Structure 1
Amino acid sequence: MEQQDNKSWAPVHHAAVRNYVKSVERFIETLGVEQLEIETSDGLRNTPLLLAVSTASQQTIEVLVHLGASVSAVNKLLHGVVEISALHGYMDLLEYFIQLDNPSLNVYQRLVTFLTSDNDKESLSAAKAIAYLISRKENEFSILAQNFIDNGLVSVLINVLKRNRGQDAIEKALDILNEILKDAAVKQMVFQSNGFPVLMSIIYKEIHKGLTQLLHGAVAAIHEIASDCDYSEALFSADVIPVITKVLHMATDISNHFSNENSNNILLGAVKTLGMVATGSASCKKAIGSEQGCLSALLLLYEKYQSKGLLLTLNETVASIISNNKNNQDSFIRKHGTRHLIQMLKLKSKNLQLSAMKTLSRLAEGNPTAQKNILENNAISPLIQMLKRDRTQTVQEIVAETLWALAGEDVEEKRAIASVIGINFLVEFLASLSEKLQHIGIEGLRVLAEGAHDKKDNIASLNGVQHLVRLLRSQSEAIVLSTMQALQHMCLSVGYIPHHQNQKTIANCQGLNFLVALMAHSRSGNIQAEAAYTIAAVVLGNSENKAMLYENSDFSYNHILHLLYTSKEEIQLVTTAALTTFAFNNIRQQREIVKAGGVQWYNFQPFLGCSNETDRLNAAFQCVVLSQIIPDNEPADSAAIGIKTIVDILEYSTSKDTLALAADCLARLAHTRAGIPSAIVSINAVPLLCSLLSSPSKQARGCAAIALGYLSFNHVAERQLLRWCREEPHLVKVLLQYTKRHKLSVHFLEGWKHLKKLGLPLIRNEKTKEASIQKNKSRETTWIKT
């Protein structure tokens, strides 16, 4: 073997380290292949290949490898070609050794192992090398990254973070983790390695130090994990909510720490994480609302930061936290959060406006208190302005959904919002390609078409009926069902008074034929039942439409009657409603129903005894109308049970909508067959209806007035009504206001004029007058509380 020099290096070592390729080849050719593995005797024991790597002598490295030098050789420090390349930052050499694909050299495993080194410099060098290599993406997820993961990278990264190494090593480890966390398998590995608490610990320490250096990486990792809702509960158990809350407080208390772009990303990541965790778990959403200072910190961000991106993220997160959670909605309102959202409605940025609208919509969902609060803060005006100014479908959808959410479930609020939107817009919504707009348009027109002060004529004048008929062809079952319910109200007013023009329009638009086709051929029992009910509304009191119906070979009562025996109660109730409407004041159609099989008492019993007041009312009304053709119960008994049920609900119910329906049912029955009005009057219905004339509900007042107008043709009822009006004369104006349209006021007005002509005192004495005033005040107070 060639003598080594006084540096303990052989000539081949010098040639290798200086990249003298020809000399290396000559030494090996003349002195033998033993020169390939000859080690220095300077205590490091480097081979020529290791020395060539240390100086990035690329050509020499390739020659040595080609001649057979061992790529797995290591020196006394256990550094091989991989470790030396990483220490010197020779990334191109690492890529070269990877491309060699030599079975004896697993570059990935060597680097992962090197990352565990107790030496900070070595660990940091490995981290930098891995970070560089996995960033070399050839597709969505680097093949190199996958190879590192397969060699245990994730658990090693968690250990590096847990051992609290130097700031630089931890920062680089976080960079690597964030690069590979997009893979679902990596998230699972972090979870299995108990990595969530480790990440939380890093955030806690940085906040305690008042620093943001490592916050970005740790928060980014938590944010990426939170994007998978499967980990919401695990993050919650790892204290993600208090941790993120502390980050938010740090952002608001020391805002100068969050002035640069990197720090702003920390804040964005923290806010987004809260929203994602809230979306992923109902218990997490509840915990966020309960976490002391969490919502307050979010709301303070609205005031301290004006960044458009942050405000958009804030809105999205707040929407996730308050959606379908009444406690969080109420807390948001108590902390005056509504004003921030409404202020955004007035900004010039359309994106911020739309984002604020979506959040307001989530705030109002199922929460009457929130709906009232938003309305009191004058949110309607900017929403309507946006609706009128921007006709793009997306904007119209968001604005309309927000407005409709503010209406809630209260019929009168819906009517008020529908009136604000306007019939023009609602009809335009019907013509839209958006199912969301179609649904809101249908529902808006439906509430405007019902009640004592309906807008049927206004809707019809803008071709609303034709648009509704067209929507019967929709592929959406929900749209078809809503459309049929709207058409029912377009055809029938309070007291089952038919609107002949709308009925005619529906028939002329082929709507009647299409409804028959839906009833006979639809696969949905719900659609079949609603179609039958709508057909009955279209033909009630309209001889021309009845003739057209009977000419249609597809129509048969058998199609309706078989629906009575479905297992779904909602279909049964709509079916009996359809049969009742066909039979209303029509003996011929009652006989036709009997011929087709008829109805039985047990079809109504379940609903008469149920807890739902609306179902009981509808079933009671149906029993009275159909009592003559219910074979297994005495007609008088059926009618008596039905009438008593309606009057009992009228007396004891506290629901405005239920009371309006009860009064409407009495209005319908008051002009059916002989004996029914007398039965209604005999069980004290008139005073109950008179008391409704003082109701704060327009619907209840209107229906009660119309019912009294019909009942006033009964002599006993007329006397009771005149006596009531003599004690409370202001009710006369209410009666005339609601009954004039139905031409019911003429008869009552004659009686009232006769009473006045006799000179009888309207209020019998001062004591009676005072008692009447106090009675009215007490009644109004009770209604307001209800």
Structure 2
Amino acid sequence: MEKTLGCLEALCVNTESFSEDILDAGGVPVLVSLLCSDRQVVQCMATAVLCHMTENSQVCEELVHHGAVPILIKLLSVHQPELDSRCAVILADLAAHSKQHQSLIADLGGVALVVNLLTSDLQDVLVNGVRCIRTLCVRSPHNQTAVAHAGGVPHLIQILAVDSDTLQEEACLALAELSRGHRENQALICEAGAVGALVQALRHRKISVKVKAASALESLASHNSAIQQCFLRQSAPKYLLQLLTVFQLDVREQGAIALWALAGQSLNQQKLMAEQMGYSVILDLLLSPSDKIQYVGCRAVIALSRDSRIHQNGFCRENGVPPLVRLLRGSRTGQKTLLSVIEALGCLCIGVALTTNKNSQKTVYREQAIPTLLELLKAHKSQEIKVQVAQTLACVLLGNQKLQREFWEQEDFSYENIVELLNAENKNISLDAGHALSLFAYNSKAHQKAIRQLGGIPGKIYETFLNSDNETEKAKAAFQTVVLARVISGSDEVTLTARGVTILVELLQSDQSTTVIITAQLLASLAHMRAGITDAIVSMGATEHLSAHLDSEDEEVRTACTSALGYLTFNRYAHRQLMTKCRKSPHIYDLLMKNLAPDARISQLFTAEFERQRRIGFPSLSLGINGGPPVSPGNNKGPSKKLNTRGSQSAVGERETSAPSVHHVGQRTKSAHPKFRPGRTPCQH
């Protein structure tokens, strides 16, 4: 018997097709029966033969059909190293073949027994046990939880420290699958010390170990800001950037993907990551033949250039636009990457509060991106691509009269393609199409007239969004009704404007930080639009609500609200309200200046007046100096609310001064001065 099994094993090793011959000859049920032999040597040799056969999917099906799984799991409890190692190999192949087989192994108690193999001192047992754990966890949340409950995490972390490249690689891959999309396991693995161990693996001399560590890092940090910060504190990006210089494409792919996983979902964190990468690395990513790497490059461009004139100009100086246009025209560019390319071109052209960068607009236009964008708008099958193209076209032309004249003279364009998208069944497409039209119509009577000549926009399209429970949808729709008030049918301009402004100001009181951010950004854009809108914003109490968020724990909330307040200071009523608040509580002014973005604007008259009054002395400070009761810095706010998305604090107080009605026209200064910072010249908008 032993010699026969030995011959079968030798034939399987030397002839790939021999496993099929054994299968056709009915050998699988015979081998399964031998697993039940009372002689351990026979069991070992039978598993040796099966180890070489289970890469064949038909063999796996036959094994399950003849009841091999419970027998293999039972053999794991014998604790014989040779049997343990071979049973782990067979179970791993079964689990890799089918999700049903994964579940069967778990239901029969196999997970805990496989995890127990990690206590072995033998490398073969450890390697095959770790591989089995990895395959059991692939796309199986139930098994991921089971491995964690069985105590697998500490063992895997310990294996990372073993002086064996193979074991370290397998442990990294197992941790990657164990944590992929599983929030509880991510936290458990991090608490067990995986961050330091993985960063150490990233510093390994062998490239294959580094790549596997990068894979584990990607899964562990994905959509988990706390763990991302842990890796950032240990300088993980520095070691991942080294992978981008390696010749092998798959190594560069994993390095780029892991690097962007650490960038997270926060714009500020993504911008910091993109700055750490630098223009040259980003350009290399865009020029890569890999679609995955190109995508990361596009996301880095978006993060770097969003609301940053310095980086927009810097990227254009480094000739970053031609690679983007090349990807725009490329027939092999994937849809996900194409969307990011189009978005990146748009981000290069606009800044804070829809201010424009004429240098970037000119560069994109001269690189002949417009004809390609128009072709995509007319002919691409994806509505998502079309609506993103419409928004980018509007960004390239926004506020640039010279380019607009050239565009209308040279290009065949009609708003009909965008208006058609307004009626899309997908409400996100419809809302984004409305945003594209808003960008075209923004501060442009000519574009508004052109849209109106096509029949305008039915007001009923926006009713669903304005009454939506989704606050983001509601904010976007409200903004669009204000900008497009002259082209929306079914209601007059004043009513639409008043309704939109009212909704936006009310949304500033939301307990969702994302809502406050987007609403403040939209209000900042409206604050330097047509006359009268700023008065309406102020009359609804926006100054008070925005001021209440200046000490939020969320940096993006503070920045967005500060930008909106900065633009409102050019309105005499908002100027007076905010000055009154700052005189009573000077720390509000300090918060305002501290959180004002480099490209944001604030009235120089406002800052000069406050600084002058600060030098003279405020009544609130004089009280304390002369023995009166001190004024508490916190008294400027009313009852506070906790922003439940990111832990931000917001507060809504009572309005201090009466503002004008919607119909009054506020004063606007054409030569708005940006915030002055040492070493910087004022940006021209």
Which residue of 2 is the match for residue 241 of structure 1?
Answer: 111
1:182-201 equivalent positions in 2, closer than 5 A: 182-201=55-74
What RMSD over aligned residues (CA atoms) do the two structures have, in Å? 2.7
Which residue of 2 is the match for residue 41 of structure 1?
Answer: none
Change (3 A) 1:581 1:566: same
SS at the partner of 1:491? Answer: coil
**Residue of structure 1 aligned with 2:89, choices 220, 233, 237:** 220
1:559-570 equivalent positions in 2, closer than 5 A: 559-570=417-428
Per-residue CA deviations over 1:577-629 (Å, capped at 9, x if unaligned) read 11111111111211110111211112212222333332222111111111122
**Residue of structure 2 aligned with 1:600, choices 453, 458, 462:** 458
2:137 counterpart letter in structure 1 = A
SS at the partner of 2:548? Answer: helix
Change (3 A) 1:780 1:740: farther
Which residue of 1 is the match for residue 327 of structure 2?
Answer: 471
Q: CA deviation at 1:482?
A: 1.2
1:431 counterpart letter in structure 2 = L
Deviates more, 1:753-762 or 1:470-479: 753-762
Correspondence 1:482 to 2:355: no
Per-residue CA deviations over 1:479-506 (Å, capped at 9, x if unaligned) read 2211222222221111211111111111
Which residue of 2 is the match for residue 350 of structure 1?
Answer: 207
1:364-379 equivalent positions in 2, closer than 5 A: 364-379=221-236
1:319-334 equivalent positions in 2, closer than 5 A: 319-334=176-191
Which residue of 1 is the match for residue 40 of structure 2?
Answer: 167
Change (3 A) 1:186 1:746: same
Q: CA deviation at 1:385?
A: 4.8
Q: CA deviation at 1:267?
A: 2.0
Change (3 A) 1:425 1:611: farther
Give the whole-Å Cα distance in 1 for the aligned partners of 2:603 and 2:537: 20
Change (3 A) 1:332 1:736: closer
Larger radius of gyration: 1
**Residue of structure 1 aligned with 2:76, choices 181, 203, 223:** 203
Change (3 A) 1:149 1:708: closer
Change (3 A) 1:158 1:496: same
SS at the partner of 1:597? Answer: coil
Give the structure with the larger helix fraction.
1
Q: CA deviation at 1:639?
A: 1.3
Q: CA deviation at 1:273?
A: 0.7
The two structures have a TM-score, normalised by structure 1, of 0.76
Structure 2 unaligned regions, length at least 5: 649-685
CA contact (8 A) 1:430 1:468 kept: yes
2:398 counterpart letter in structure 1 = L
Change (3 A) 1:424 1:696: farther
CA contact (8 A) 2:202 2:209 kept: yes
Give the whole-Å Cα distance in 1 for the aligned partners of 2:637 and 2:255: 41
Give the whole-Å Cα distance in 2 for the aligned partners of 1:185 and 1:709: 69
Which residue of 2 is the match for residue 614 of structure 1?
Answer: 472
**Residue of structure 2 aligned with 1:157, choices 7, 12, 31:** 31
1:732 counterpart letter in structure 2 = Y
Per-residue CA deviations over 1:91-143 (Å, capped at 9, x if unaligned) read xxxxxxxxxxxxxxxxxxxxxxxxxxxxxxxx445434544565663xx312x
SS at the partner of 2:632? Answer: helix
Q: CA deviation at 1:391?
A: 6.3
Change (3 A) 1:381 1:134: closer
Which residue of 2 is the match for residue 662 of structure 1?
Answer: 519
CA contact (8 A) 1:466 1:505 kept: no
Which residue of 2 is the match for residue 317 of structure 1?
Answer: 174
Give the whole-Å Cα distance in 1 for the aligned partners of 2:517 and 2:181: 29
Correspondence 1:363 to 2:225: no
Q: CA deviation at 1:356?
A: 0.8
Q: CA deviation at 1:214?
A: 2.9
Q: CA deviation at 1:166?
A: 1.8
1:651 counterpart letter in structure 2 = Q
CA contact (8 A) 1:178 1:220 kept: yes
1:425 counterpart letter in structure 2 = V
Which residue of 2 is the match for residue 785 of structure 1?
Answer: 647
The two structures have a TM-score, normalised by structure 2, of 0.87
Change (3 A) 1:749 1:246: closer
Which residue of 1 is the match for residue 662 of structure 2?
Answer: none
- Identity of paired residues, percent? 26
Q: CA deviation at 1:232?
A: 1.1
Give the whole-Å Cα distance in 2 for the aligned partners of 1:692 and 1:141: 70
CA contact (8 A) 1:735 1:745 kept: no
Higher RCO structure (Cα 8 Å, ≥6 apart): 2
Which residue of 1 is the match for residue 261 of structure 2?
Answer: 405
Correspondence 1:435 to 2:291: yes
CA contact (8 A) 2:127 2:170 kept: yes
Per-residue CA deviations over 1:28-72 (Å, capped at 9, x if unaligned) read xxxxxxxxxxxxxxxxxxxxxxxxxxxxxxxxxxxxxxxxxxxxx
Structure 1 unaligned regions, length at least 5: 1-122, 259-263
Change (3 A) 1:454 1:636: farther
Change (3 A) 1:700 1:463: farther
Which residue of 2 is the match for residue 273 of structure 1?
Answer: 132
SS at the partner of 1:227? Answer: helix
Which residue of 2 is the match for residue 86 of structure 1?
Answer: none
Correspondence 1:574 to 2:448: no
Deviates more, 1:756-765 or 1:607-616: 756-765
Change (3 A) 1:125 1:420: closer
